Amino acid sequence: MFEGFSEYGKSGFSGIGEYFEDTGTVPDTPLIELLNLNDKNLKPFTKNLLDSNELSEDVQSLLTELSRGINALFQFQDILDISLDPDDSDVINRHYPYFESLVYLRESVVSWLDRNVLAALTLLRPFLELSVLHIYWFLQCRERNYKPYYDWLKQDKGKPSFRDALDYVFDNVPAKVWVTEQRLQELKQVISNSYKTLCAYNHTPKMDESITAKSEGFGNVSLEVFYYYFHIVTILLRQVVYLFILTYPMSLFPIEKHTKWGFGGPVGLFFDKINYTRLETYIGSENITTLKQALSSMPYVESLIEWVDSFPTLTLEEIDADWERLGQDEPYFKKPDVNNLFQRLAFMKGYNRSLTWAMNYIVEHTQDVDIPNEVIEKIRKQVRNW
């Protein structure tokens, strides 16, 4: 994990970066690490639940499934592109809805682990709304500029209803014509139905929806209710991950950027093999294969792969030299215990994720506090046009 950028806020930002060899076995990330939980602050019930030595195989399977789903969605932070041009130069807070959706997802799961099931269910609705809203603004602004997005973000103008946002997303999702209409409509229907279900817990739940009725008592959390949340969140997570794949089809075609650009290159745009492996582990090899076959002929995918192939492949010596170059500009890259390629790739990913989180939560103060110039400079350095 890379921990840094505390100058951006009181608590700072951190990012998990990983890079592992292909041994045929993919290591799972424990929920306590994935959600950045402090073991000292966990309730006894939660500690027992997360103690893998005490869990039944069924419960361990549930937690593994949930962890893999969260991890798969987390991977998309690496593919969010940032482009700079004279008419669209603002990169601060560009992908805020996506990152804020992860915050709500984390808080929801933590509430569930603490047996606060009603709170957990209530938090899933804004998670879904923010996920769809992120894709809506991405599709709205990719062909023009991000002015409408910033009008919403800074002036609360132009936000669509969830239904309108969902309709627009499914009418304009990049992979729309490359998958079957039936499967696309099924995906939309499940998301829409999930939203209706979640709305009950933000408004007026009926008797059959009441957590108290399901638990047969005030303040009780029955096993049925505990598993009910898991059922809801796993269905929802899988559909959101599928929607992100259709929005970012290059997630299915991993590129090892360091072999072309060292530790620089374009921001976002691609998954590496670790991102891809996390995605495949979650949705399964068969689903991955089906989607890859459907999306491999997309002009967008073909043109990007062709563009990457046009660059010469770097030697290991050239990649090492690029790391040394980074160390001259930034002390973060001079750590003595980061001395082989895999460690460097993992460290770089953690660094970039920390930076991306930070830049999406910078608040422009209009009174006494300004964004430090060095903060902006660090961000600008990372946004390298090709």
Of residues 39 and 374, more confidently modeled:
39
pLDDT at 361 over 80: yes
In a domain, 60, yes or no: no
CA pair distance 60, 56, nearest whole angstrom: 6
Q: Let me know if residue 223 belongs to a domain.
A: yes
The answer to whether residues 179 and 220 belong to one domain is yes
Mapped onto helix, strand or coil, the DSSP state of residue 14 is: strand
Instruction: Please report whether residue 49 resides in a domain.
Output: no
Q: pLDDT digits over 28-44, tens only?
A: 888 888 988 877 777 77
The mean pLDDT value for 63-74 works out to: 94
Give residue 303's domain range.
Answer: 1-25+72-76+254-286+296-386
Claim to verify: residue 301 and residue 362 sit in the same structural domain: yes
Q: What is the pLDDT of residue 329?
A: 75
Q: Which range, of 164-168, 171-175, 193-197, 225-229, averages the lowest pLDDT?
A: 225-229
Residue 35 inside a domain? The answer is no
| Same-domain pairing of 234 and 261 | no
Q: Name the band, by pLDDT with cuts 50, 70 and 90, for residue 183.
A: very high
Q: Are 225 and 300 members of one domain?
A: no
Q: Based on the fold, state whether residues 117 and 154 are members of the same structural domain.
A: yes
pLDDT of residue 46: 76
Same domain, 232 and 272: no
Average pLDDT on 321-327 reads: 88
Are residue 353 and residue 377 in the same domain, yes or no? Answer: yes
Question: Could you tell me what percentage of the chain is helix, strand and coil, using 3-state DSSP and rounding each to the nearest 5?
Answer: 65, 0, 35
Mean pLDDT for the chain? 84
Residue 163 has pLDDT above 60, yes or no: yes
pTM given for the model: 0.88
**Which DSSP state fits 30?**
P
137 vs 222 pLDDT, higher one: 137
Residues contacting residue 123 through CB under 8 Å, at least 6 positions apart: 104, 105, 107, 108, 111
Question: Is residue 307 situated within a structural domain?
Answer: yes
Dist. CA 68–CA 338, nearest whole Å: 27
**What is the rounded distance in angstroms from the CA atom of residue 274 to the CA atom of residue 342?**
11
For residue 83, being part of any structural domain is answered with no
Q: Are residues 191 and 259 in the same domain?
A: no
Q: Is the pLDDT of residue 372 over 90?
A: no
Q: Say whether pLDDT at 87 is over 60.
A: no
Instruction: Tell the burial category of 353 from Cβ atoms under 10 Å away from its Cβ (0-12, 13-18, 19+).
Output: buried
Q: Are residues 222 and 266 in the same domain?
A: no
Count structural domains, the chain.
2
Are both 305 and 193 inside the same structural domain?
no
Does one domain contain both 331 and 357? yes
Kindly report, residue by residue over 185-230, the tens digit of the pLDDT.
999 999 999 999 999 877 777 666 666 655 555 555 667 778 889 9
pLDDT at 209: 62
Name the pLDDT band for 367 (thresholds 50, 70, 90).
very low
Task: Name the band, by pLDDT with cuts 50, 70 and 90, for residue 264.
Answer: confident
Which of 84-93, 108-117, 234-243, 330-339 is predicted most confidently? 234-243
Is residue 59 in some structural domain? no
Give the least confident one: 100-104, 277-281, 315-319, 360-364: 360-364
Q: For residue 279, name the pLDDT band (cuts at 50, 70, 90).
A: very high
DSSP H or E segment with residue 113:
helix 96-113
Mean pLDDT of 44-70: 79
- Long-range Cβ pairs for the range 291-299 (8 Å, 24+): 291/179, 291/245, 291/252, 292/252, 292/253, 294/175, 294/178, 294/179, 295/175, 295/178, 295/179, 295/249, 295/252, 296/253, 297/178, 298/174, 298/175, 298/178, 298/249
Cβ neighbours around 330 below 10 Å, total = 12
- Helix (H, G, I), strand (E, B), or coil: what is residue 273? helix
Residue 137 located in a structural domain: yes
Same domain flag for 310 and 356: yes
The single residue listed with the structure tokens 């990330």 is 29
pLDDT computed for residue 195 by the predictor: 95
